[in-house]
Structures are given as C-alpha cells and as structure tokens.
Amino acid sequence: MTSEPTPASAVPVVRMAARKRIALVAHDNCKADLLDWASYNEGTLLRHRLHATGTTGRLLSERLGLEVHRLLSGPLGGDQQLGAMIAVGDLDALIFFWDPLEPLPHDTDVRALLRIAVLYNIPTACNRATADFLVSSPLLATEYERRQPDPASRIRRPGLAE
C-alpha cells in the first residue's frame, strides 16, 4: 500500500520575518573564510539577528564588531543547540562553513544539525558560493512563507499507538 502525496496546499507554512535569524558556524580550517565572507557581507548581516557557536561568535564580534548571540562551542553542544533552535522555529537560515576533509570527533553532531536543517526546510549554505547566493537573494530581506511539512507525520506508522 502506497500513500498519496500531500498536496502542496495542505503543507503548513512558517512565516519568516524580513529580519531573519541567521546562524553562522565555521570549523577551524574554515573560520578565516567565514570571517572574510562576513566582512564582505557585513552590511547585509547587520540587518538580521545573528547566532553563532563559541569561537566563531567570538571572532565575529571581536574582529567585525557584529552583534552575535553566542552559543556553546560546536563540539561542546553548540551544534545541538542550533539544531534545537531550528526544531522549535527559532532560526531561519544556517550558514555553516564546514571542512569535509577534516575528520571531527563531533561528526555525528554536524550530521544531525545538517539533517535537522534539511528536515525543517531551513535555507542552508555549506560553502562560500552558496552563502553568496543566499545573502544576495531578495527573499532574505522580505517576509517569506517557508513550507514546513510536519516531520512527525513522516515517522508515524499506521496501526501503532501514539
């Protein structure tokens, strides 16, 4: 038995304000690139609420003077904090410069964060080119209705008690 696809009109939407809540994250080998990118896009970033994990947040504040809500360091729970923020609707976009060639002790946290971002349909940039496209989109500066399928509906099994 196959289930029928959900019509687009039945998928709930989340209204994102014009002032977005953006998470900025960079692994150690990518911090310089993120700082350079953020410096170039400082005027755009200043119009939004910024969140970042530990060292990345400190560097953005100290070197660029950006107002950043700092979370824990990624390996110490910061990646999980961001995932929780996405799940409860407290983040609108994720810019995560991660190093695919560097094995990390918290790889599972990184994968979980990226999985949650995709699951909740959060705009996500994992490299500079995609981040450029994201921040240059006219949608970043306007209200936007993001389609938000119910993730729980995808894991419910017919016949199982709730």
What whole-number distance in Å separates Cα of residue 145 and Cα of residue 14? 5
Q: What are phi and psi of 16, to 5 degrees?
A: -100, 130
DSSP letter at 4 equals: P
Place of tokens 């995932």: 83
Tell which residue, 108, 106, 50, has the closest CA to residue 74: 106
- Catalytic pick among 28, 79, 132, 150: 79
What whole-number distance in Å separates Cα of residue 115 and Cα of residue 109? 10
Amino acid at position 22, single letter: I
Number of Cβ atoms within 10 Å of the Cβ of 43 = 7
Q: Quote the tokens at residue 135.
A: 């921040």
User: Would residue 132 show up in a list of annotated catalytic residues for this protein?
Assistant: no
The residues annotated as belonging to the active site are: 79
